[in-house]
């Protein structure tokens, strides 16, 4: 009923009974990998593999339910939380050591009166329990408690988990949809019921759209050696980047595989802002700076800089009405491609913002960056100015359509840490002939350019969209 291997916090979060009535809803999950395929382990399973009389979950359930008048069963259907189970390419169910670790939990909300029985699985014959049987802690809360929906994310396997959050623009977009999905630790609008992805697509192509891109990771790179660090860690020639300019670039490992792609803004001689998709890119910058002994500070500003994108042919006309710039900054009408301006919304004493002529749609477009406290004011001003121009909200489904058409890549789809920029279709970000300085991955990229293993291409389809 949920259309996924197992329910997760968000829109597809419920478990149902045989009559298709919802029983429980998953509210929070710090693990993210469970099993909804297998029965609870039973006596027959252990008997058949040479462990007669082995303790099993089905008998544990029978004992716990005996005083409830429930008829015993040889095997029980169960939700096998923390089991790392999947169906392989041959249609075979496989199980491996769990992703969970001490302290991980799943929080559920009962949607009806139910009897819930839990068994700490006693299977010590397979990797299912990590070869280490432990008790499980079950805690119940009264219905008065309120919990926000969240999924845990970890930057690295040993990192502390961070639960899903709302962006500063969430309440503004929530007025138009309830279809939110988890994206890189935040809830983002997936689609808008009033319009739908197709209408959102056409609004972007013909008029204008507004979307929330706050989950992009931002890092302030400052200090006397900021340029030197970025010149060494990014494929582009950062020395050629002037104040007020933006450049799209790749960040690579020594073997040429990509860590991330993103944009770099130069705010001053020693002041840069890196905008990418992954927290690890900031960690990589810090590690490299420390290794080289550079005098540079790399500070995450993701929580201080939330952003919306206003994209489409009419985006310039909309922003002309609300964005004010000082005489030393370019106006919206003057702002060129891959440039940004320090500006305000609502006049010289209005809300401070940074506006860049950048986007992820292939259309004329801008991104507006502001402090979270000002997000609602920024959204309202743009939304009001945009209504006469046909401005509509756009979600991730429609964004995927326009960015694929524009040939814009996305981590996990067009590239991974084994993909080099040439294979990902962004070879233009690697100026091997004109960038004289060395950078991480240069030698590998010279070799990989000469002997590519893959090539990313787009298909021109004769269709009605």
Specify if 43 maps to a domain.
no
185 and 211 fall within a common domain: yes
How far is residue 73's CA from residue 42's CA, in Å, rounded to a whole number?
9
3-state SS class at 23: strand
Mean pLDDT of all residues in 119-131: 94
263 and 350 fall within a common domain: yes
| Overall domain count for the chain | 2
User: Do 129 and 119 touch, CB atoms closer than 8 A?
Assistant: no
Specify if 464 maps to a domain.
no
Mean pLDDT is highest, among 93-97, 116-120, 193-197, 370-374, for 370-374
Domain that holds residue 83: 1-38+78-162
Share of the chain above pLDDT 70, in %: 100
251 and 214 fall within a common domain: yes
Specify if 349 maps to a domain.
yes
pLDDT in tens, 33-87: 899 888 999 999 999 999 999 999 999 999 999 999 999 999 999 999 999 988 8
251 and 371 fall within a common domain: yes
Decide if pLDDT at 240 tops 70.
yes
How far is residue 220's CA from residue 352's CA, in Å, rounded to a whole number?
17
Decide if pLDDT at 407 tops 70.
yes
300 and 172 fall within a common domain: yes
User: Do 14 and 29 touch, CB atoms closer than 8 A?
Assistant: no
**Cα 63 to the chain's mean position, in Å?**
43
Opening angle at CA 204, ends 199 and 205, nearest 5? 95
Mean pLDDT of all residues in 112-128: 94
How far is residue 270's CA from residue 25's CA, in Å, rounded to a whole number?
50
CATH number, domain with residue 366: 3.30.1360.120
**Cα 314 to the chain's mean position, in Å?**
28
Specify if 69 maps to a domain.
no
127 and 224 fall within a common domain: no
User: Do 311 and 365 touch, CB atoms closer than 8 A?
Assistant: yes
User: Do 6 and 80 touch, CB atoms closer than 8 A?
Assistant: no
Decide if pLDDT at 157 tops 80.
no
- Rounded to whole angstroms, what are the CA distances from 178 to 257, 387, 461? 38, 21, 32
How far is residue 192's CA from residue 206's CA, in Å, rounded to a whole number?
18
**Cα 171 to the chain's mean position, in Å?**
19
How far is residue 169's CA from residue 189's CA, in Å, rounded to a whole number?
10
pLDDT attached to residue 156: 78
How far is residue 150's CA from residue 8's CA, in Å, rounded to a whole number?
9
Mean pLDDT of all residues in 392-399: 98
Specify if 62 maps to a domain.
no
Q: Which of 162, 182, 210 is the last residue of a domain?
A: 162
215 and 304 fall within a common domain: yes
Specify if 71 maps to a domain.
no
Specify the pTM: 0.86
Structure tokens at 106: 């799943």
How far is residue 190's CA from residue 362's CA, in Å, rounded to a whole number?
19
247 and 186 fall within a common domain: yes
Instruction: Tell me which residue of 412, 404, 364 sits closest to 261, measured CA to CA.
Output: 412
How far is residue 167's CA from residue 147's CA, in Å, rounded to a whole number?
17
pLDDT attached to residue 162: 87
The total number of residues shown for the chain amounts to 465
DSSP per-residue codes, 370-414:
E-GGGHHHHHHHHHHHHGGGTEEE--HHHHHHHHHHTT---BTTT
115 and 169 fall within a common domain: no
pLDDT in tens, 214-231: 999 999 999 999 999 999
Decide if pLDDT at 371 tops 90.
yes
171 and 150 fall within a common domain: no
pLDDT in tens, 317-338: 999 999 999 999 999 999 999 9
Q: Which of 162, 191, 217 is the last residue of a domain?
A: 162
3-state SS class at 216: coil
How far is residue 219's CA from residue 286's CA, in Å, rounded to a whole number?
11
35 vs 257, higher pLDDT: 257
Q: Which runs of consecutive H residues, i.e. helices, occur in 195-302?
A: 197-206, 226-233, 279-292
How far is residue 393's CA from residue 396's CA, in Å, rounded to a whole number?
10
151 vs 270, higher pLDDT: 270
Confidence of residue 7 (pLDDT cuts 50, 70, 90): confident
Decide if pLDDT at 133 tops 70.
yes
Q: Which of 128, 162, 196 is the last residue of a domain?
A: 162
Specify if 393 maps to a domain.
yes
181 and 284 fall within a common domain: yes
214 and 148 fall within a common domain: no
User: Do 216 and 276 touch, CB atoms closer than 8 A?
Assistant: yes
DSSP per-residue codes, 287-334:
HHHHHHT---EEEE-TTT-EEEEEESTTHHHHHHTTEE--TTS--TTT
Specify if 67 maps to a domain.
no
């Amino acid at each position: 009923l949920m259309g996924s291997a197992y329910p997760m916090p968000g829109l597809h979060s419920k478990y149902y009974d045989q009559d298709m009535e919802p029983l429980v809803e998953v509210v929070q999950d710090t693990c993210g990998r469970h099993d909804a395929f297998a029965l609870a382990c039973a006596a027959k399973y252990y008997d058949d593999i040479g462990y007669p009389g082995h303790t099993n979950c089905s008998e544990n359930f029978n004992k716990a339910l005996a005083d409830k008048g429930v008829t015993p069963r040889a095997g029980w259907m169960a939700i096998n939380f923390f089991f790392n189970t999947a169906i392989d390419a041959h249609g075979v169910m496989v199980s491996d050591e769990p992703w969970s670790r001490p302290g991980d939990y799943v929080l559920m909300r009962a949607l009806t009166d139910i009897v819930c029985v839990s068994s700490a699985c006693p299977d010590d014959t397979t990797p299912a329990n990590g070869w280490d049987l432990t008790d499980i802690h079950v805690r119940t809360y009264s219905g008065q408690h309120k919990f926000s929906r969240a999924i845990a994310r970890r930057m690295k396997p040993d990192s502390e988990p961070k639960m899903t959050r709302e962006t500063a623009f969430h309440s503004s977009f929530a007025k138009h949809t309830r279809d939110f999905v988890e994206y890189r630790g935040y809830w983002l609008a997936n689609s808008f019921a009033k319009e739908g992805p197709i209408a959102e697509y056409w609004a972007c192509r013909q008029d204008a759209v507004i979307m929330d891109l706050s989950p992009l990771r931002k890092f302030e790179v400052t200090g006397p050696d900021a340029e030197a660090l970025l010149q060494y860690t990014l494929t582009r020639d950062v020395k050629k980047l002037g104040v007020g300019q933006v450049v799209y670039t790749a960040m690579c490992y020594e073997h040429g595989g990509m860590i991330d792609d993103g944009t770099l803004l130069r705010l001053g001689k020693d002041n840069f802002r890196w905008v990418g998709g992954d927290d690890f890119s900031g960690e990589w910058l810090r590690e490299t700076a420390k290794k080289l002994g550079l005098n540079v500070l790399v500070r995450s500003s993701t929580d201080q800089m939330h952003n919306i994108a206003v994209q489409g042919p009419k985006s310039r006309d909309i922003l002309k009405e609300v964005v004010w710039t000082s005489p030393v900054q370019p106006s919206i009408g003057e702002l060129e491609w891959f440039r940004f301006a320090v500006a305000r919304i609502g006049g010289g004493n209005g809300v401070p913002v940074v506006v860049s002529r950048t986007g992820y749609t292939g259309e004329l477009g801008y991104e507006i960056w502001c402090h979270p406290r000002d997000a609602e004011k920024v959204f309202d001003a743009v939304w009001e100015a945009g209504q006469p121009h046909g401005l509509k909200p756009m979600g991730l489904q429609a964004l995927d359509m326009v960015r694929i058409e524009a040939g814009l890549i996305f981590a996990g789809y067009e590239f991974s840490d084994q993909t080099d920029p040439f294979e990902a279709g962004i070879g233009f970000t690697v100026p091997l002939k004109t960038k004289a300085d060395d950078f991480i991955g240069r030698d590998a990229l010279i070799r990989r350019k000469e002997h590519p293993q893959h090539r990313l291409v787009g298909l021109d389809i004769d269709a009605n969209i």
